[in-house]
Structure 1
């Protein structure tokens, strides 16, 4: 088990090099950026449904599930993304490889604890466009953004009765976001550059409840609630505006500059979030369920007050999904122990641009491959979806995500029977 953790830690170090390029979307400019963590690989393969307790998988979306662990579990996941971005006149391609999460879960009789880290949100885009302002006159615009918010969490779950579990976790959120814009008129020697930087930090809490009860001899019913109260992030903002000269080798020579503000303090609100889900199934054979998530994004703000075309509304997400295992305890046929997962989701992201709500929809498919000779496994999730629209002067994103997760399981703290 220790060797497996060391190998995964090395994987983490390699993935961290991509942390500042976690998004390709121009929509990540607004608010705190794109929300990166959308569940572990196994739950994402089911459309994001996170209502099922699991003895060998960490369910980070609901801390009540930590008490269902039967073995020490070490989980790590990463995603490769490929996308086409469309406007009414242009088309571009983008790709990213990102770390999704790194977590450890420990069973403690009727309880369980878990801790880990994840990139929570990301800002990442590079946009170039030309604005025609008159006969023969053009302004060349360049927009860049990078950074995001990371999250460290510590949580615990407890089995109150055979049917009910409760849990809570505490998160520390921290990170830095930097955006810049450059504009040059073709008939003017110098260009204008603006750099905005925000340092963000703050705590948040997640609460969870899970239910599992028998319908008959085979079927079980499942229910889950998770709740995240609204909390504030403290931001320290910096803005610099400069007149620059563009060099032929791609560099920038600063001619004159002015710092508009430095160390300006503001607060950004992380919205209230409530998820309700229910399902039915035969454990270790098949399970299916649905989940709805409400997010009070209406009060969410941008990092700076002078963004006029972007605002927020309350968000909502619908998820359906499940899994099927032909024969989980087969010793002679490996393929019959592979877990088949599928699902779909549809959401209003809560972002409004040019008075148009931004929607995101995707279908998912996944597989869980057991590692022979252990209870560990490799999970794969395939996701194809679309976000936004190319109407209203906006951008439509068609994307394909490939997620790979490792769940290593072993028994720790076992008392020796013989010396």
Structure 2
């Protein structure tokens, strides 16, 4: 009963939290928004490294890991993000708290399965451009946007032999993204407003492979591969054009005239994405590895009709990371059983603005705090996105993440003597 209460409360909390604004990045104006990390907090604390399966915890990056489970695993995690956004002359601070994933994994002998909910991308920006034309008239454009694309997923995997496991995952993506442009001119009381609302839904899928080879000296060699083929999501668009009056005294916006415009529905491409990684380690002691993720972002387009800026190129992410456990079965020292994790990540995001590739760098470290077969994962991330060159914005961010992994035999039979 307690487990059912935990799961039900988690689902209700998660569904509400996924609807919140998940980013404060101006770069979420482009494409499908800002990509969210799609893994658990223990993987995030290693820079995103996800090259092995676990018997008591979920690996949400590679569906081939589900058959490695030996206990039913319930996982939930969230992040608080602190960001400083700055250009060549100004800076502002922002804070966001989000739920990152909610999932359950079930072992079934050589098979394993998992279902869950996590965000795919988020939009959350607010900025303006001010320019003066040749007649001395000041033109102001205010851009705002918010929304999320979420992903409900279900996957299964099979352990072929002691070295290989394979898995596949089906994902239903859904969400609403709203983009708004308000344009005003000095000397004119009325402003024009264009509001575009995109309702997005569609299926994607992911396949994975995990490899593990035991060596004679007690070491294990790990390998990982995932592939998410190119798919298309359906976009149902609505557009509203209005003239507005802004009240300086109340700060309120009043609509003077409004008209809905018919906009054809269309499909948007989710590019092919694949990753491969490898590492070496000793069971329940340490692991070090590297991972490369590639995505064909050159096929992306912008959702907003007002967005004519930016180009897209193929994205690349390079990760190195690992963990260390002093003595996992220590009875005398709790901190000898703690998992110490660290990682580094470089991400070429695939977005080009004003001739500059937008890159992201991050350093991670974290702790896995054991609670029997369950655990609490705490992670910290320090990073930077973008640059102040060419009139752009640089984001300096610090993330605090926490994840709970509850493992138990939920479906064992009750015996009566």
Size of the alignment, in residue pairs? 415
SS of residue paired to 2:389: coil
Deviation string, structure 1 residues 94-148 (Cα, Å, up to 9, x no partner): 1100010000000001110000111111101122454344687433432211111
Deviation string, structure 1 residues 50-76 (Cα, Å, up to 9, x no partner): 101111110011000000001000000
**How far off its partner does 1:307 sit?**
2.9
How much is the aligned-residue C-alpha RMSD, in angstroms?
Answer: 1.7
Structure 1: which 5+ residue stretches go unaligned? none
**How far off its partner does 1:38 sit?**
3.3
1:257 correspondence with 2:255: no
On the 8 A contact 2:45/2:381 being kept in 1, the answer is yes
TM superposition score normalised by structure 1: 0.95
Distance 1:227 1:217 in 2: 32
Distance 2:415 2:6 in 1: 30
Distance 2:275 2:257 in 1: 51
Partner of 1:98: 98
1:350 correspondence with 2:350: yes
CA change 1:89–1:261 in 2 (3 A) is farther
Partner of 1:20: 20
On the 8 A contact 2:79/2:399 being kept in 1, the answer is yes
Distance 1:312 1:9 in 2: 41
Summarize the alignment of residues 247-396 of structure 1 with structure 2, pairs less than 5 Å apart. Answer: 247=247, 248-262=249-263, 264-304=264-304, 307-371=307-371, 374-396=372-394
Summarize the alignment of residues 52-91 of structure 1 with structure 2, pairs less than 5 Å apart. Answer: 52-91=52-91
Bigger drift between 239-248 and 203-212 goes to 239-248
Partner of 2:9: 10
On the 8 A contact 1:62/1:226 being kept in 2, the answer is yes
On the 8 A contact 1:19/1:99 being kept in 2, the answer is no
Bigger drift between 150-159 and 140-149 goes to 140-149
Distance 1:260 1:391 in 2: 38
**How far off its partner does 1:19 sit?**
2.9
CA change 1:18–1:156 in 2 (3 A) is closer
Summarize the alignment of residues 182-197 of structure 1 with structure 2, pairs less than 5 Å apart. Answer: 182-197=182-197
Bigger drift between 96-105 and 17-26 goes to 17-26
**How far off its partner does 1:176 sit?**
0.5
CA change 1:395–1:9 in 2 (3 A) is farther
On the 8 A contact 2:212/2:223 being kept in 1, the answer is yes
Distance 1:4 1:85 in 2: 42
Deviation string, structure 1 residues 26-53 (Cα, Å, up to 9, x no partner): 1111111011133110000001001011
On the 8 A contact 2:38/2:119 being kept in 1, the answer is no
On the 8 A contact 2:38/2:60 being kept in 1, the answer is no
Summarize the alignment of residues 228-239 of structure 1 with structure 2, pairs less than 5 Å apart. Answer: 228-239=228-239
Distance 1:133 1:169 in 2: 53
Partner of 1:172: 172
Distance 1:384 1:107 in 2: 35
**How far off its partner does 1:305 sit?**
5.2
TM superposition score normalised by structure 2: 0.95
Deviation string, structure 1 residues 213-260 (Cα, Å, up to 9, x no partner): 112231000001000000000101122221111123222222223333
Distance 1:181 1:305 in 2: 10
On the 8 A contact 1:289/1:321 being kept in 2, the answer is yes
Bigger drift between 113-122 and 238-247 goes to 238-247
Bigger drift between 166-175 and 18-27 goes to 18-27
**How far off its partner does 1:177 sit?**
0.3
On the 8 A contact 1:18/1:97 being kept in 2, the answer is no
Distance 2:384 2:193 in 1: 33
Bigger drift between 358-367 and 86-95 goes to 86-95
Distance 2:135 2:333 in 1: 72
On the 8 A contact 1:110/1:159 being kept in 2, the answer is yes
**How far off its partner does 1:355 sit?**
2.5
On the 8 A contact 1:4/1:408 being kept in 2, the answer is no
SS of residue paired to 2:203: strand
Bigger drift between 306-315 and 237-246 goes to 306-315
Distance 1:104 1:46 in 2: 22
On the 8 A contact 1:209/1:226 being kept in 2, the answer is yes
On the 8 A contact 1:126/1:143 being kept in 2, the answer is yes
On the 8 A contact 2:39/2:61 being kept in 1, the answer is yes
